[in-house]
Structure 1
Amino acid sequence: MLVLMTGKWIDMKKGILFSVLLVLGICITVLLNKDSENEMTITPVTDTSDQTILTFWRNYGNVAENQAFELMIASFERAHPNIDIEMNAIQYGDYEMKLRTEIATGKPPDLMLIDSPNLALYARIGVLHPLTDDVMEERLDKDLPPALLEGVSYQDEVYLMPLVQPGAALYYNRHLFREAGIPFPSKNPHEPMTWNEVLEAARKITDPEKGVVGIDPAQGFPGGEAPSYFKSPIIWQFGGELLSPDGSTANGYLNSPESIEALTFYKDLYHRHDVAEVQLPPRAFENGKIGMTVYGSWELSRLRETDPEFKIGEDFDIAPLPKGIEQVAPNGGWSMGISSNTQYPDEAWTFISYMTDYEAMRIYVDQTGEPPARQSIVQSFPEFLEYPENIFLTQSQIYSKSRPVTPAYPFLSDAVKTLFEEIVIENAEVKEAADRAVSKIDSGIQEQNKYTNDIYLFPQ
């Protein structure tokens, strides 16, 4: 007779002997340790009968972010030994679909990261546990910048808790500015360049013979959520909007005169002024092929890691995002939520509260350089009050705006992405492309209004 032990087949006698030894080992419930006086001490085995296991899903980030989460969870588990966190980090491109599949099959994780614009999709069908009472009890509603709090709320309920205050800024190459005889932009977060000043600088920097481009105005043309995050501010900066205040329509907003002016200016950077290019070489900014680019706050840590010789203050610097008639920066990002299906809402909130408090945020800041979401916590890190981090923090606290929280947001995000691609890559007429985007968004709103409980309608 055979038994399977540790992947190998052994005979029954050896199996019995192994089992006896295993039972004897389990029965030994003391550990013998010599103290300083060479006496024997007894350490009882830890009782794990009340152990709580929480599943936590998040999108797989960059190296610094991934390391931060590992260290933060280890810190939490030391502080709360009766709670174990099982983290599942999923590639960005697969995350939303896998999460929605688990929700649709009734097996969501206890905790999850959600990109705040998608909040309404989940909140409306009741898959998120409201956090309003917990947030109010700990007075966190007073500890978040207003725009950030608005971005994690839906229909007067708070559903998500942000970890950090992400942002974007204008990164510029000091060498190219100096060679073109252009004064460096102000480092004062309240004094951005105007878009017209940016255009003039881009004209002087652009050198086709050397392959130097004046500006990449909004992260090129990637997939995913990046186009909406980086390009929506251009519309806001010119006084336009994406959606009506009540979220019922994009007509009269995304195709308003102000929005058309913003879109036209953006298109002209490529087709009229020839200071921007659709195709850019890899690492174009670090290699001196772009004078200005718009990057997220997280790019500072990436640049330090991937190209430590390309240094801020020597090779590049940052300035606040350009303004049109208004100074506006994007806000909102990945925030923590609790499943309405969890059996452990109190323990889940304990985890969220810890992850956004000082001890865990100290780890996150050390790893990523990102400013904490809670204003009382960020004040504990004086570096965020100084350049360059103060650029992102000031924009987030004073000049930021969140993308619309609406169940139809995926339709809106895809329409914005397509709109910018059409007017630049396809050289489409701006007003016609804007009207098509409006039609797509309004159709999505109508579709979402027909259904209130279906997960499968969430578009990719």
Structure 2
Amino acid sequence: MKKNVKIPAIVLTAAMCLAATGCGQSPVSSETTASSENSATTETAQAAVSTAGAAATESADSTEPTEDVTINFWHHYSAQSPENETLTNVLIPKFEEENPGIKVNAVSHEWADLHDKILISAQSDTLPDVARLDSAWVPEFQKMGILIPLNQEMQDFDEVAGNLLESAMTTAEIGGDNYGLALNTNTKILYYNTEAFEAAGLTAPATMDEFVEDCRKLAGTNEAGQQVWGYDEPGLAGWNLCPFIWSMGGSITNEDQTKASGYLNSPETVEAIQTLADLYQEGAITGWNSGDIPMTDGFGTGRYMMLLEGPWKVSEMAGAYPDFKYATAPVPEGKGGSISVLGGEDIGMFNTANKDAAWKFMKFMTDEFAQEEMAKCGQIPCNIEAMNSDTVKNADFAPYIEQLKTAKSRPTVASWSEIDSELTAAVSEVMNGEKTAQEAMDELAPKVDELLAE
């Protein structure tokens, strides 16, 4: 029986359109064809559907496919990224060589689109076999009943999970069951323009008070008369706000994640949001508006002086601005400590006909070889052997691994996506001067209470 899923009207409309064009347990032909430019295989959409249909006739207990099977893997590695290139040209060919009879159709989606794409596909029974999931999405998809509890259905789950970082595996653990394998972990640290700091007589801000003052001191105009900003933040979602809220002593919910009132609108949380709004209105920070300079370009051209970013920024800067001089530092410390946000992705399996082949691919993507290859692209591995490899030791992940010791997860609740959207909208009103942070959070907290109770 399909569970009722609460999704935005625009997403539901799209789902109805998809439902009219096809059904089944694997993506329909239009899904594969439309994404052929991002596919890692060259099979036609008709072949993908044919093989998926053939796979559906196999016994659920089989361990080896009896004929060719194509599994669909959706991910959000950017189409032109080093990660997607490695996936397409290194990992998938090796997997297919080691597993004759299994083909992988990998499709790249924008991060912002993938979540809703999965919701649409859940409504029309066109889910992929496997997907790379933002860890914050897992509770929502688990509540919908579309993710497979791996520990219940895969006999060697414990052996596979034992090779992965325990802390990273908790992001997909819900109610004693595991709904994904930890694929990569990450967090954000401070990046700063060393030449600009030296010219201003500054060192990396160690405290939140120093960070605020440095933003103001470094903002203004450069020698060419261009506006420059002390800090760039590309969004106003929980991923962007939590390091400031937590480090300044605030929180989104209570520890049980059952209540927001008294926490989301606490003096500490309000102060964090109002501080960012004040800096924005003073022209000291920017980044989330349409038309703003993209983060990498703004940093590399000296228009943004500081960022909070993850390890992927190293390879991006090396590729786009190899001569640019910058350094990194921990998240500035406030009354709550130096606390960044725990990120990362899990690889999860949906309830399709190709579970055996999908599980082989999931194990491959989390084994030492694949994890080392992705580490070369700036992905912090979750495989313990890969974490101890020379590749990782030489990749200068040390600052991120240190920050991970105090990093925290965004609330692991099924309603997080809705809460996150409400938070973004409320904080946007504060940034634009429509409301104070106290007013906005006082209005938002009871709404979040209701979402947490669903």
Give TM-score scaled by structure 2 length.
Answer: 0.76
The within-5 A match list for 1:419-438 is 419-438=426-445
Name stretches of at least 5 consecutive residues in structure 2 with no aligned partner: 1-64
Cα distance, 1:142–1:246 mapped onto 2, change above 3 Å: farther
Equivalent residue, structure 1, for 2:34: none
Which secondary structure does the structure 2 equivalent of 1:86 belong to?
A: strand
The DSSP-based 3-state class of the residue aligned with 1:400 is coil
SS at match of 2:186: coil
Provide the C-alpha distance between the structure 1 equivalents of 2:118 and 2:140, rounded to a whole number of angstroms. 12
Q: Any conservation in 2 of the 1:124–1:407 contact (CA below 8 Å)?
A: yes
Q: Which range moved further: 249-258 or 205-214?
A: 205-214
1:266-415 superposed matches below 5 A: 266-271=276-281, 274-277=283-286, 280-282=292-294, 283-310=297-324, 315-325=325-335, 326-339=337-350, 341-366=351-376, 368-381=377-390, 383-384=392-393, 387=396, 389-396=397-404, 398-415=405-422
For residue 355 of structure 1, report the CA deviation from its aligned partner. Answer: 0.5
For the structure 1 residues 116 and 281, does the alpha-carbon distance in structure 2 shift closer, same or farther, using more than 3 Å as the test?
A: closer
Can you give the 5+ residue segments of structure 1 that lack an aligned partner in the other structure?
1-47, 186-191, 450-460
Which residue is 2:143 aligned to?
124
Which AA in structure 2 matches 1:298? W
Bigger shift: 127-136 or 299-308? Answer: 127-136
Output the amino acid matched with 2:99: H
Q: Distance in 1 between matches of 2:200 and 2:347?
A: 45
Residues 145 and 427 (structure 1 numbering): CA distance in 2 closer, same or farther, change over 3 Å?
farther
Aligned residues of 2:248 and 2:334 also touching (Cα < 8 A) = yes
Q: Deviations over 1:272-317 (max 9, x none)?
A: 6x5324665452211112221222321211122222332xxxx111
Say yes or no: does 1:175 pair with 2:195.
yes
The one-character-per-residue Cα deviations of 1:177-226 (angstroms, maximum 9, x if unpaired) are 1111113x3xxxxxx71111222333332334654545225x2347xxxx
After superposition, give the CA deviation of every residue in 1:310-349 in whole Å (9 maximum; x if it has no partner). 2xxxx1111122221212111133321011x223323322
Partner of 2:84: 66
Query: Given the superposition, is the C-alpha separation of residues 143 and 116 from structure 1 closer, same or farther in structure 2, using an over 3 Å criterion?
Result: same
Which residue of the partner structure matches residue 13 of structure 1?
A: none
Shift of 1:409: 0.8
For 1:221 and 1:386, how far apart are their aligned partners in 2?
A: 27
For 2:104, the equivalent position in structure 1 comes to: 85
Q: Which of 117, 120, 136 is the matching residue for 1:98?
A: 117
* C-alpha RMSD of the superposition: 2.6
* Partner SS for 2:147: coil
The 1:417/1:69 distance shift into structure 2, 3 A limit, reads: same
Q: Would the alpha carbon gap of residues 365 and 221 (structure 1) be closer, same or farther in structure 2, given more than 3 Å must change?
A: closer
Q: Report if aligned partners of 1:162, 1:373 keep a CA contact under 8 Å in 2.
A: yes
Deviations 1:355-391 (A, max 9, x none): 111111222122x12210223321113544774x211
Question: Aligned pair in 2 of structure 1 residues 444, 381: CA closer, same or farther (>3 Å)?
Answer: same
> Any conservation in 2 of the 1:72–1:364 contact (CA below 8 Å)?
no
C-alpha distance in 2, partners of 1:384/1:330? 23
The whole-number CA distance in structure 2 between the counterparts of 1:433 and 1:318 is 33
Call closer, same or farther: CA 1:238–1:145 in 2, change over 3 Å: farther
Q: Structure 2 counterpart of 1:255, which letter? A: N
Distance 2:66 2:409 in 1: 44
Structure 1 position 144 matched with structure 2 position 159: no
In 1, the alpha carbon distance for the partners of 2:379 and 2:220 equals 34
Equivalence for 1:42 = none
For the residues of structure 1 that align with 2:114 and 2:97, how far apart are their CA atoms?
Answer: 28
Does residue 1:263 correspond to 2:259, yes or no?
no
Q: Does 1:193 align with 2:206?
A: yes
Change in Cα spacing, 1:166 to 1:361, as seen in structure 2 (3 Å) is same
Q: TM-score, normalised by structure 1?
A: 0.76
- Report whether the alignment pairs 1:442 with 2:449: yes
The number of equivalent residue pairs is 379
Shift of 1:414: 0.7
SS of the residue 2:319 aligns to: helix
Contact in 2 for aligned 1:212/1:291 (Cα 8 Å)? no
Aligned: 1:215 with 2:223: no
Residues 365, 383 of structure 1: alpha-carbon distance in 2 compared, 3 angstrom cutoff: closer
Rg larger for:
1
CA contact (8 A) 1:54 1:110 kept: yes
Distance 1:173 1:145 in 2: 35
Secondary structure (helix, strand or coil) at the match of 1:399 reads: coil
CA distance in 1, matches of 2:198, 2:109: 43
